[in-house]
Structures are given as C-alpha cells and as structure tokens.
Amino acid sequence: MDRSKLGWVVIVLLTLGWFYMGSQENEKMRQAQQNYADSLAAVQESERVAAEQAKTMTAEDLKRADSLAMAAKSAALGVFASAADGSESLVELSNSVVKVVLSSKGASMKSATLLKYKTYDDKLLELFRDDEMSFNMTFPMTNGCNLNTSDLYFSVKSKTDSSVVFSLEGEGNASLDFVYSLSEDSYMVDFDVVSHNCSYAFKPEKNIPLVWKNKRRQLEKGRVFENRYSKLCYKDDDGIQEMSEESNDQATAQNVKWIAFKDQFFSVVLISDSLMGRSMLQSEKLSDSTIYMKDYMANVQVPFNQSASFRFFIGPNWYKLLKSYDKDLSGDDKLQLKRLVPLGWGLFRWINQLIVIPLFDFFGSFISSMGIVILLLTLVVKTLLFPLTYKSYLSNAMMKALKPEIDKINQKYPENSPEKSQEVMALYRRSGVSMTGGCLPMLLSMPILIALFCFFPSAIELRQQSFLWAEDLSSYDAIVTFPFSIPLIGDHLSLFCVLMTVTNLVYTKYSMSMTDTGTYQQMPMMKYMMYFMPLMFFFMFNDYSSGLCYYYFISMLITVIQTLLIRRSVDDEKLLRKIKENREKPVQKTGWMERISEIQRMAAEQQAMQKQNGANNRR
C-alpha cells in the first residue's frame, strides 16, 4: 500500500474513533443528567414525605425531634453544652455620661445611651440598640467544633454598680468569663476575656477570630452632611487609616491597635491592649431610603493566651476628650484617638490644633453662647489678618491711581500685546506698586480660612447650640423649606448662607471698583467670573453647618467694614505724592521682577519674529 492510501486509512480510522468516543461521552453525560434528575426527584419526594409526616406528628414527636437537635448541638459544645439553651437577661452599667445595657446572650452590649446628648428630634441619643451591633468570638475546640460566644447563654457571676462578670460555665470547673467595668464620668468600658481550666476544651491557638458589626443610624438633621463625615477608621503600624465615606470599601490590615466605627460627632472604638493580627475591614454605604447610613464590619484575629483585654470607647468626637487619652503616653503607645476629629491635613490641622481650638476653648470657658464665641474668634482672626488687608488695599488704591496712565498705554498698544504688558509692568515698577500686593495677602490668609472650613463642621461644641434663628449651629439653618428638592440647592434655603453670598457679592463689586484699571472692560469674562465665585459658594455651602456660614458672613462683613475704614483714612493726595517720590528713586528690580521682565521680552521677540515670518511668506 502506498503512502497516500495509508494516510487515508489512518484518517478514516481516527474519524471513526472520534465518533465512537464522542458517543460514549454523550452517553455518560446523558446518564449523569438522568442520575441527577433521579436524585433531585428522590430528595423532593423525601421532603414531601417529611412534610406530610410533620403534619401528622404529635407534640411528643416534635419534642423528641427538638431534643435530638439540641443533643447534637450540645455534643458540639462539649463541656459547655449547658449554655446552648437558656433565657436572655439584661444588665445595666451606667455613670454620669453613658449607660450601657448588656445581654447575657453572647455576653455582649445590647445598647449604649449617651446621657448628655440628644438626637436632632430631641430623643435620647442611643448610639446603638437592639440588633444594630453584634459581637462574636470564636474559640476552636478540641472536639473539632467551634464555640461561638454570640450563640450561647452566659450567667451573671457577679454584679456591682460599676462592673459585671458574665460566665460561661462548663464541666470540670471550666469557665469562660467576660468582664465589663465602667468607671465614673468615663466613656471607656473596660472589657476582659478570661478562661479558667479550659486547656482540655479549647485548642491552644495563639489567635482567635473576633467579628464585630455595627449599623450606624442617622442621628443628625442633615443626612448628606452627616454621611460625609461617617467612616471606618483604624490605627496600624502606618498610622491612622481612613476608609472611604462616599462608597463601599474594604481593607486588610496587620498589627491593628484600634478600630473605630464613627459618624459625624460620635464613635464606638474597639481598643486592644495587644496588637490585633490580620484584620479584614468593610464599610458599606446604605440607601438613603433607610434610617441607617453605614454598615461596618471588622473580622480580626486577636491574641489570646488564656486571657485578652480590650476597651470600648463609646462617646463624642470631642477633641479635648480624645486627646486626654494620650496623657502620660509617648511614641507608638499613643492612641491618637484625636485624629477621629477631621481637622484637615498638614498645615491646616496644625493651625486648628495650635490656634483655633485653644482660642475656641478659651472663649467657650466663660461664654455660653456659641454664636458669640464664633464672633469673638472671627474678630481675633480678622485682627491678625488686618496688616495683610491694609497692605492689599494700599496696593489696589495705588493701581487705581495709575488708571489714567494705564488707559493711555491701552490705547497705544493692541490687546494682548507683549509690549503693552511690558510697559504696564515698567509703570508699576517705577511707581513702587507691587504686582503681588493685592493677591499675596489673600493667599497668605487662605490657610486660616481653609483650617476653619475643616474645624466648624467637626466641632461637637456647636452641636444643637442655637443662635438667633439657627436652631443648630452644626447643621443648616433652613429659613425656607421646599416640599421638593431643587438641583444644586436641595430642599431648603439657609439664611446664613444667603447672607454670606450677598455680603460676598457686595464686597466683590466694591473690590472690583477699587482695582479697575480697564482690565474688566477689555476682558468682560473676568468680570463675570468674579461674580460667579460667590454664587458658586452659595450652592456649595447651602447644606453646610450654619456655624460655618455664619463665620464666613461675619468675616466678610468685617472685611467690608475694615475696607471702608481704611478708605476713609487713606489720603489720595498723599498716595499720589508717594507714587511721585517712588518714580524719582532708582528702580531696584527683584529677582521675581527680573524673571517676569525676561519672560515678557522673550514673548515680544517671539511675536515679532512670527510677524516677520508671516510677512515673508506673503511675499
């Protein structure tokens, strides 16, 4: 047989083999599908039979079935089988600032009430209640099963006014104790887990799983604003970490010192005496249609060698209070809980910590009205910034005095001409007018304004403090409430925000008249932009705290008054004489002015070269 015939034979044999194997696989698949269908039918039939039998079961039969289920559960719990069944009892610990209710089921906190605070609708402020918080520790047992504390019923071993001991008692004097204690006037709840004679019941694990969950309910009037400041935070080797407040977020960390479930003004923080191991953290933003804002979860590995010690902070995000927990601590031992108060980053936080908060606390120590405290704080800040305001006004006044000469330059050169810019710069230089004199003072004052922007929304001292028509300086002061939501505005108008915007527009118009050197006529779009900024701030701040809008309103109003007073005190004739004296002095160029002049010279040369090239091309 030649090679071609042999090849055809091989191909035919391979094809027949492939068809045969395919048919065999199809048959196996068909058989497997039939077996699955038969098994499913058998399960459904058994379920139907069980359901029919359940209908005919007597109470005795049901009791026997429950007993069997309980026996199986008890067998899994080993020496702690007696804790599988029981009744829930509640124990209360309280002092002058917080009340904590604990449940014997799971030996965990059932609710926590802050006694010195209320919700926006004047109800008791419960940070959590009922099933909003859950806490479970899982102990691997020598019988291969796991003991989940949240499923078991503890007994109250002992109780005093400030402490309670829940005990999970087993055979052979084995016990697992959860000890809670609350000191007077403290927001810290000490929590200790201690095992006794459990070496034969528990596996000798270095770390055990702990799962802690909390759904945060809306507590403030402005949900959007409160949600913006609600987030999960934690401290690890790299410092304080913050998870996203705007969307669902997950994180994995090691060597965690504490985990905080926080909202705008209050937090529940789990602090471990020993660093927690691998920690999986999750934050979920919930729908606006529910009363809840965030759903937090922490799944961590905690060190356990017959005992473990923790603390729960249940209280306000008050900077002074949180800072006090670092007293007598140094280095990495500091908890840094004060970072739960968002004061801005870098320079802005330092300004708040070193200037704003000390001033705020000082005035608040002898003045009860927070509106007056903000007014005094504003006066101090504006007094500190007054030299910059005065210098800015003089610079603008000198520019306005040069307007006739600038008009001549504008008529001499076409618009956007480099030669015009050079001559204007030369005029300013000869007259002793600084180009940065008008804007530099404003730029130097920006860090303080931004620091205060961060401070006011996070200052719990303003919470539910009324002033004038504002019922709560930590939330918006709605002078008009709409039955619907308007894009960019919302469902209300904040009066302090409106006053801030009007005052800002008035100052903008006055400031533009003081600095008008013909620029706004040549570039009308810049004029509209100057008016656009105050209007943009209105849309931004309408939902912000009324305390912040009140501060900006007072600050702008004081600026207008300062400007008018400076205007009356400045002699225009004397200003013109000073300009004339400056022109007679030799011009001293600074490095910055030299660079500007060089840039303008190069731009003029480039433009002239382009014109020359264009003329040559036309030829």
* Residue 279 vs residues 216, 251, 301, 501: alpha-carbon distances, Å: 20, 8, 6, 47
Residues 242 and 380 in one domain: no
Domain annotation covers residue 507? no
State the residue for tokens 């027949």: 16
How much is the pLDDT for 333?
87
Run of H or E residues at 484: strand 478-486
We report the CATH number of the domain holding residue 248 as 2.70.98.90
Residues 164 and 246 in one domain: yes
What is the spatial distance between Cα 402 and Cα 396, in angstroms, rounded to a whole number? 10
Run of H or E residues at 101: strand 98-103
Which range of residues forms the domain containing residue 455?
350-466+543-593
Run of H or E residues at 256: strand 256-262
How much is the pLDDT for 28?
43
Residues 182 and 201 in one domain: yes
In the chain, the number of structural domains is 2
What is the spatial distance between Cα 608 and Cα 614, in angstroms, rounded to a whole number? 10
Domain annotation covers residue 134? yes
Taken as a whole, the chain contains a residue count of: 619
How much is the pLDDT for 25?
42
What is the spatial distance between Cα 539 and Cα 5, in angstroms, rounded to a whole number? 87
* Residue 316 vs residues 38, 242, 392, 557: alpha-carbon distances, Å: 62, 18, 42, 33
What is the spatial distance between Cα 154 and Cα 151, in angstroms, rounded to a whole number? 10
User: What b/e sequence results for 455-489 when a residue is b if at least 16 CB atoms lie within 10 Å of its CB, and e otherwise?
Assistant: bbbbbbbbbbbebeebebbbbbbbeeeeeeeeeee
Identify residue 375 by its one-letter amino acid code: L
Domain annotation covers residue 291? yes
Residues 92 and 112 in one domain: yes
- The predicted model scores a pTM of 0.75
How much is the pLDDT for 2?
45
The contacts of residue 522 (CB under 8 Å, 6+ apart) are 410, 415
Q: What is the DSSP letter of 571?
A: -
Please say which residue of 342, 365, 398 terminates a domain: 342
Residues 367 and 323 in one domain: no
Domain annotation covers residue 158? yes
Please say which residue of 295, 319, 342 terminates a domain: 342
Residues in the chain, pLDDT under 50: 1-12, 14-15, 18-19, 22, 25-26, 28-29, 32-33, 35-37, 39-40, 42-43, 62, 65
Residues 246 and 149 in one domain: yes
Q: Could you give phi then psi for residue 105, rounded to 5 degrees? A: -80, 110
Residues 148 and 94 in one domain: yes
Residues 275 and 357 in one domain: no
For 316-336, write each residue's pLDDT tens digit: 999 999 999 998 888 888 999
Residues 422 and 289 in one domain: no
Which bin fits 416, alpha (ψ -120 to 50), beta or left (φ > 0)?
left
Domain annotation covers residue 35? no
For 242-262, write each residue's pLDDT tens digit: 999 888 999 999 999 999 999
Domain annotation covers residue 50? no
Domain annotation covers residue 618? no
Residues 266 and 119 in one domain: yes
Residues 386 and 451 in one domain: yes
Domain annotation covers residue 569? yes
Please say which residue of 342, 371, 393 terminates a domain: 342
What is the spatial distance between Cα 109 and Cα 101, in angstroms, rounded to a whole number? 6
How much is the pLDDT for 261?
96
Residues 382 and 336 in one domain: no
Cβ-contact 586, 406 below 8 angstroms? no
